[in-house]
Amino acid sequence: MPTINIVQAVNQALKEEMRRDDRIVVLGEDVGRDGGVFRATEGLYDEFGPDRVMDTPLAESGIIGTAIGMAIYGLNPVPEIQFLDFIYPAFDQIVTNLAKLRYRSGGQYSCHLVVRAPYGGGIKGGHYHSQSSEAYFTHTAGLKVVIPSSPYDTKGLLLSSLRDPDPIIFLEPKRIYRAVKGEIPEGEFTVPIGKARIAREGRDVSILAYGAMLHVAMDAAEAAKKNGVEADVVDLRTLVPLDIDAILSSVQKTGRVIIVHEAPRTSGFGAEISAQIAERAIEYLKGPILRVTGYDTPFPYTLEEYYLPSVPKVLKAIEKLMQY
């Protein structure tokens, strides 16, 4: 099986699905001739031409608004937002129009599209290129939110997203765009939306993570093993729909929970997970639900590594829980 990185997985998924479905169009800033700022759309313009791969002005509201119009009239658009931090000018288009069109029209318009955006820190991008805004979209009924952590899941989940009838926010962890590689099977495959993955089996503590933080959780789990602690690591894969059954199964097994995400702590998605665990499985808990997250500050440039969750921070949380 070939080994590729996450950027290549995105590129493969788009190429293969564009060959299969001529309704798919890609649009965004520099996605055409330049292949995108991270080269995720490289080669698409040459193969599919300017009618299906469109460079747009620097106007996110226009990008999403145009994509919504395309979707209503039967196309399957894939707008790219160059960095998730830039999505805010299009926020009204997404939450007021895109997310509500099916409901508002009584099901007459499905308005399916996939908004792709790299998110998160780890590339020294400063506070305008490093934000994790996923919680804004998980709060919006009508949207699905997908966040892969590996090349396999990236390709499989993107293919599933491109075929799903609902609007999807597909967030790609740019910190590991090229740092994480994995084997991809030959031929077509998909990964189901709404199903978490048990990345590591353990009995002592459950670590819940997604995106780039999955790899921090895995490294922390390996480090904890030296002290005799076996961590169960759950890769959420999708935040909406959330695989609460997989989470509860892990929690019931270990009785201890740590949630890791790089978004700010207050109202981060970890708070929703904590609430659901408390409502459904509090009798299984042997200690408090702990969160290892970013801080409630703008994302810093010089203190980036201090801001981001790290293996030592997760290990400290593990130690606290095991001693509780």
Select which of 112, 127, 129, 261 is catalytic.
129
Residue type, 142: G
User: In which element (H, E) is residue 261 found?
Assistant: strand 257-264
- Check residue 129 and give left, alpha or beta (phi > 0: left; psi -120 to 50: alpha): alpha
Cα gap 178→38, rounded to integer Å: 10
- For residue 51, give the DSSP letter: T
241 prior amide bond cis, ω within 30: yes
**Catalytic annotation present for 215:** no
Cα gap 272→139, rounded to integer Å: 10
Q: What is the 3-state secondary structure (H, E, C) of 220-251?
A: HHHHHHCCCCCEEEEECCEEECCCHHHHHHHH
Cα gap 242→248, rounded to integer Å: 11
Contact in structure between 246 and 277 (CB atoms under 8 Å): no
Catalytic residues: 129
